Structure formats: C-alpha cells, structure tokens
Amino acid sequence: MKTSILFYCMLFITLACGETNHEQHPANHEMESREESVTQSIYYCSMHPDVQQNEPGSCPICGMDLVLKPTESNSKSMDNHSNEHKHSGEIEGDDSHSSNYNRATENSIFLASQKSRDLQLETDVVKLTSVELDFKLPGRVELDPRTSVRMSSYVEGRIDELLVNYAGAYVQTGDIVATIYSPEMINAQQELITLSNSTPLREGLLNSSRVKLQRLGMSDDDIKKVQSTGKIMDTIPLRAPSSGYVHELKVLPEQYMQRGESLFLINDHRQLWLVVEAYEHQLPYLKVGQKISWQLAQNTLSRHSSNDTYKPLTGTIEYISPEITMDTQTASVRLTIENASSNLRPNQLLSGHLLVPFSEKKQLTVPYSSVLWTGEKSFVYVNKEMDSGSFNELRQVILGPKTKDSIVILDGLNEGERVVSKGTFIVDAAAQLSNKPSMVQNQQFQYTTINSLDIDSLVNIYVELKNSLVVTEITQSTTYSKSMLTFIEEALKISSLKEDSRVLLEQLSNQVRLFSTASTIKEFRSYFIDLSTTMVELTKQYSLSDVRYVQFCPMANAGNGAYWISEDAEIRNPYYGDMMLRCGETIEEL
C-alpha cells in the first residue's frame, strides 16, 4: 500500500514538473527570437563598414544600399534551414572551417558558396598572354620625301608659260607643265637642222646632236619634228617626269631660271609618313625596327567613307627623335604607311591608338577591376575554392603597365590562380569586419581628425608656393618656402600631435628645407614632387574649412606622375607652368 502511494506521488511530481517546463519553453524561444532579431538587424555599408544602423537604408557617404551584417546567430539560423550550405550566412571565418583554414594563410577570409552567389562575386584566372600597350597619341601625316620627284629645267631660260600654276594640282607622266624660252636650246636645234641638211650626211655628228637635245630636256617626238620640218621651236615644253600631286611650287610666269633649278615636286601620296608624338615615359617601349599598328580614333574614322580606313595602319618604326620638344615634352616617332586608297592626306592631324608590344615574352595579366590600390601598394584577393565555399587571400602584387581591360602583374601571382574580379571591395569590407588583413589596414593614409594644428593656414601657404611655380616666380617660391618652414617648426612644438602626424610634419620639414636650397626652376619643381605628396597625406588627416582639390599630372616626374593641392578645380600645372598649363586632372576633393 505504501509502495503504491509513493509511486503515485512521484508520478504526480513528474507530470507537474513537465507541465512547468512546457510552459516556460515557449517563453525561452520567444526571448531567443527577440535576441536574434536584434542581432540580425544590424545593416552596414560594404564600402564604408563603419556606417552601421538597425534598419535598411542608404550609406550617407556613397549612397549604396546597406546590407545585413552577418552574425553568429545568422549562421546558426541558416544551419537549421540547410545542412548542405552549412555556412551560407557567414562572411567571417570560424572554427568549423579550421581544417580548411589551415590550408590557407592568415590573410584569408572564408565566404560560403551561397554567400558568394548572393553577393554576385566573380573570379577570373590569372593568364599568361602576349601584351600590347595601347598608347593614345596625336599624330600627323607627312609626305615621304623619298618618293617625291623633282621637276626641274636642264637649261637656262625664261618661263614663257606656266600651265601648272598652283600647288595640289594633279599631273600625269608626260603632261606639259610649262614652256621655256632658252637661247641654248635654240642653238642646239639649229645645229641639228644644219647637220641634217649637210652633204655628205654625217651620221655620227647627227646622232650626237640628237643626244644633246635629249639631255637638255627635249622629247624624242619634238626632236623628230624639228629635224623633219627644219623649223626651230622658240619655246620648249617641259613635261612631267611622273604622275602625282604638285608640291612646293617655286616659279612664276616670266621668271628666269638657272640650269637645274627646281620648278616643283611631284608626289603620288601612295606612301606617306605617319609621325606620332610619344611622351617620355612611353619611349622605353618604342624601338627602331619595331613593327607596330596604329588604329585611328572614332572621331577620325567618321570623316572617311571608305571601309579601308577602319583597318589598323601597320608599319615599322624608322626613326625616333633623340630630342624632346620643349613645348609638348614629346618626341617624334616616325613610321612609313601605305596609302593605296588615298584616304590619308599630307598634313592631316589624327588621333589614334598606337599598339606596341610590351615584351617579346608573355606576361601575367588580371582584370583591371581586381586590383585594389592604397597609394604605393597594390593588392588582389586570390580565390581558393573549397567544397562549401572559398578562401579569399589578400595578397600584395607588383603592377606593370595597364592594357585596355587588364593590367600586367610583374610579381605576386602565378599562372592559373584565380582572383576576385567583381565584388573586390565587398570582400575587403568583409575582411575588415572579421578583423582580417585588408586594404584599409595597409593604407598609407590614416583618416583621422586633429584639431590642434591650423591646417588651413598651412595649406594656404602651400597653395601660394604652388602658384609661384605656376607663374615661374623663383623669388616668390623661396619666400613662401621659408614661411612654410617657419610654420612647420612651430607646429612641431604642439605636444598634442599624434605620432603619425608628427612624422609627416618632420618629413615635410626636411622636404621644404631641400626645396629652399634650389637655384633653378627645374630644381624647384623637382623638389616640389615629394613635398606635395607628403602634403596630400598630411592634409587628408584634417577637416578643412574650404574645399581643396587634389590634382594629378601624368607627365610629371619622368612620366610617373605627380600630385598637388589646388584652391580651385581649374588645372594650373605647377610642374610645367605655361609650357603645359592645362595638363592634369582633378582626382579628389579634400
């Protein structure tokens, strides 16, 4: 009896506890659901990860739509929905991939397959290809003097009639272009007539007389006419020695000419020179004897109706000027082109793309969109596929020249590797959120705000220094450099300066001191390159009262390009002054 009572008591307690747990369980689920909801409602900008909020919206900096920030709760929730894509909600790597992660490097971030598809990431293979550099250059068409024929007179005399009296006229071989009165030619004709009528007939002397007239420029038909009629031609016709267009007309009617004096030149335009102007940094890729092609720009093509014009012009470089032109800072590069269709005309100005082989060997290339720049350093994300996703490794690369759609990789990648070509910034943003190495961590510029330094005054002095180089005023340059140096020395006494700003100011101080030692405008502009680079870095750490513009000239610094800060958007180049005042572009606002 006691045993039965004890049994029912235990059963009652068990049921009561079970009911209590059953009542509490939904509450726990509701609480967890609320926690997950709060956790999942964090949205961020893939370009500016510091921008975060609890609801969807747009980034106030770039305007991109905010995306949901993946969390550990996201991953667990998606695990319950799909075992096949176990980590499809993850952007950050985690311990569940430890075996795969060990195969990658510490610079890698794991992205699940589904997440990569959601972000529309794309990859491309590192290819080994023949590289052609595309230089957009101005050019002009010139006559090839080697194909010109000189129209001249073989006797002294006076031009009686000039039948071709303007440059550009077209003549055929044998056409009469002028008539000339020459006493010497009259005497030679009289000699022929006398010998023809003499008896006995002296064939040897007669033949010598005919040859003499031929050498003086008389045609065989005219010689036969004089010999048969016995009448002297008062004026002798001058005939075109070849077909073509008249150039460099040098005579007028009634003008007296010396023996061998040129009337004009004749050129058929079938073979012309193409002379393009190459910038200094492009010259190392050009060599005499190199076969290249030159594609006319679209605005040039529209002027012609012939389909032949759309074909690239091919030729061999025959000459590269050993001097740089002062006005344009370019060197002339000449190649010979065929012009059978006569679409091109001498003195025509053209704009086109000079296609030049970069190297005899094939080069590694990747899409241009796959490269991240931080200033001096460049990075790509190398993609390594796994069963459930991919590792994306941040890797520094050394870049070569840029082609039309790709860029040459000199070091850092191997043939056959895959790189992220679309969505690179999204992957980098994910790496930042995961505390993985990223482009931002490698940037030379640190975007912080320092209020203890009067940056506006420093920039104003710098701008005045820049303007003195624009107008080539060496005295003003020296004055402003001294003012700038005094300001920097006072700024270095500020105890609240951050270490990175102090380092830049000390570096700027040394550069301004070196600038002050210059004695020629060339030296001033050379020292201004590094000074401006440091100034840009320093200014980016501050909030300016007025907008300033970072501008860039690709021609300066021996073709490597150089920056400067300007007070307005209009380009006024301090590295060349009036010589190339408008060379450059605005690349950033401060």
Please say if the pLDDT value at position 244 is more than 70. yes
Indicate whether 400 pLDDT > 50: yes
- Of the ranges 192-206, 269-283, 290-304, 363-377, the best mean pLDDT one: 269-283
Task: Match 């690709």 to its residue by tokens.
Answer: 554
The more confidently predicted of residues 6 and 50 is 50
pLDDT at residue 21, as a whole number: 44
Q: What is the pLDDT, as a whole number, of residue 376? A: 65
Strands 176-181 and 235-239 turn out to be antiparallel
Average pLDDT over residues 267-277: 90
Q: How many helices (H) and strands (E) in the chain?
A: 14, 29
Q: Is the pLDDT of residue 246 over 90?
A: yes
Mean pLDDT (the chain) is 77
Percentage of the chain modeled with pLDDT above 70: 80
Give residue 40's pLDDT.
Answer: 54
Please state, in angstroms and as integers, the Cα–Cα distance from residue 537 to each residue in 20, 398, 530, following that order: 66, 22, 11
**Mean pLDDT computed over 348-368:** 82
What average pLDDT score do residues 16-20 get? 45
What pLDDT does 516 receive? 86
Rounded to whole angstroms, how far apart are CA atoms 119 and 65? Answer: 13
pTM: 0.47
Note the pLDDT of residue 61.
62
- pLDDT of 204 reads 82
Q: For residues 256-278, give the mean pLDDT.
A: 89
DSSP class of 147: G
Q: Distance between CA atoms of 480 and 462, rounded to whole angstroms?
A: 8
Average pLDDT over residues 412-430: 88
- Is-contact 137 352, C-beta < 8 A? yes
C-alpha 432 chain-centroid distance:
31
Quick: pLDDT tens for 444-474.
Answer: 333 333 346 778 888 888 988 898 898 888 8
Range with lowest mean pLDDT among 86-95, 140-149, 374-383, 437-446 = 86-95
Beta bridge partners of 244: 171
Q: What is the C-alpha to C-alpha distance for residues 330 and 325, in angstroms, rounded to an integer?
A: 5
Query: What pLDDT does 215 receive?
Result: 84
pLDDT exceeds cutoff 80 at 77? no
CA distance 318 to 56: 63
Q: Percentage of the chain with pLDDT > 90?
A: 12
First-last CA distance in the chain: 93
